[in-house]
Amino acid sequence: MVGNYKLSPGQVFDILFRGGGSSGDRYILFDVRIPRLLCCCLVGAGLSVSGLAMQSLFKNPMASPSILGISSGAAFGASIAISFGVGAGLFGSFNTPVLAFVFCFITMGIVYAIAKTRYGVATVTLLLAGVAVGAFFNGMVSLMQYIADEDTLSAIVYWTMGSFNKCGWMSFRMAIVPVTAGIIAIVMMVRELNLVSAGEEQAANMGVNVRLVRIAAIVATSLCVGGSVAISGTIGFVGLIVPHIFRMIVGPNHKVLAPLCILGGAAFMMAMDTIAKAAFEVSLPVGVLTALLGAPFFVYVLRTRRRDIWE
C-alpha cells in the first residue's frame, strides 16, 4: 500500500481477491510492489542467515557478511560495470548485477588463497585477509568514483547506498536461485555450526570436519551476499542486527536461530524499505536507513559484548 502512488487497503484487497482495480492500479501492485516486496524478503533473509553463519564461524558477535570483504568486492564489480560498461556486450543491461555477483566469488577466492597455508586455514587469518582485501576493494571503488564523470559518479554512489527502487520480477528471478541455495546450505549445517561455535577443537573431537564446514559456510555466504547485492546494492548491518537480536531472545541454538533469522530478516528488510519509502519526502535508499540504525547497534554490541568479541 505504501509508496509514491497510494493504494488503500480496500483497493489492494479488491485487486488481489476480486480481480478489480484499474489497469494502472494492477500494474503498480503486480509489476512494482509485489516483486519489490519479494526482493526485500529474499535479501533480508539471505543477509541475516549469512550473518548468523559468520558469527558462528568466527565465534564473534561483531561478524557479518562484509567481514570477508565480499560486499566490497561486489561493489567494485558493479563500479567497473557502471564506469566502463564491462560485460554489457554479453549481459546487456544486467551487466552491473552480474559483475557484482561474479566479483563476490572472485573476492572469496582471493581471501581464501591469501589465508591458506600448508598447515591449513586459521579462522583469524581468514578474518584478517578478508579485512585487508575488503579495504583494497573499497579503495578501488573510491578510485572509480574519483575518476568518473558526474553521471557515472551518481550511479556508482546510488548503487553502493543500496536500494530496491529498481527491483522487479527480473531481479527476483536473478537472485532467487543463488540466495535460496545459500540459505538451504546454511540451514543444513546448523548442527555443525552449533559445534563449531562452541570451539573448533571440540567440534573436531566430535567428528566435525571443521575445514569443510568453514569452506561450505563461506561459499554459502557468498551465494547469499552475491545474489543480494546483485539486485539491491550493498546494504550493511542487516547480518549483524537480526542474528544478534534473536540470539539474545532464544539463545545460541542454530536449529532455532536459522529459521528465525530467515523470517526475521525478511520482516526487518520489509520494514526498513517501507519506512524508507514512507517516512520522508523523497524515497531514501534503504542502505542509508540500515546504516543509521546499525551504527548505534554496533556500538551497543561493542559495549555490552566486549568480552565475547576479544576472546
- Ranges of beta strands (E only) in the chain are none
In this structure, what CATH number is given to the domain that contains residue 169?
Answer: 1.10.3470.10
- The string over 244-264, giving b where at least 16 C-beta atoms fall within 10 Å of a residue's C-beta and e elsewhere, is bbbbeeeeeebeebbebbbeb
2 is a domain residue: no
At residue 310, the pLDDT reads 44
4 is a domain residue: no
At residue 293, the pLDDT reads 83
Residue type, 40: C
145 is a domain residue: yes
At residue 215, the pLDDT reads 87
40 is a domain residue: no
52 is a domain residue: yes
Please state, in angstroms and rounded to a whole number, the distance separating the CA atoms of residues 54 and 224. 12
Please state, in angstroms and rounded to a whole number, the distance separating the CA atoms of residues 258 and 48. 9
At residue 159, the pLDDT reads 81
Task: Quote the number of domains for the chain.
Answer: 1
192 is a domain residue: yes
- The string over 100-131, giving b where at least 16 C-beta atoms fall within 10 Å of a residue's C-beta and e elsewhere, is bbbbbbbbbebbbebbeeeeebebebbbebbb
At residue 305, the pLDDT reads 61
Domain enclosing residue 236, as ranges: 45-302
75 is a domain residue: yes
Instruction: Please name the residue that has the C-alpha cell 552491473.
Output: 96
- The string over 54-70, giving b where at least 16 C-beta atoms fall within 10 Å of a residue's C-beta and e elsewhere, is bbbbbbbbbbbbbbbbb
At residue 128, the pLDDT reads 85
CB proximity list for 278: less than 8 A, separation 6 or greater: 2, 3
Q: What is the DSSP letter of 117?
A: B
CB proximity list for 190: less than 8 A, separation 6 or greater: 254, 255, 257, 258
Per-residue pLDDT of the chain (311 residues; tens, 9 = 90+): 887 778 888 888 888 888 887 888 889 899 989 999 999 999 999 999 999 998 888 777 777 777 778 888 988 988 888 888 888 788 777 788 888 888 988 998 898 888 887 776 677 787 788 889 999 999 999 998 888 888 888 888 888 888 898 889 998 998 899 999 999 999 999 999 999 888 778 888 888 888 899 889 988 998 898 889 888 888 888 988 899 889 888 988 999 999 999 999 999 999 999 998 887 777 788 988 888 887 787 777 767 765 554 45
210 is a domain residue: yes
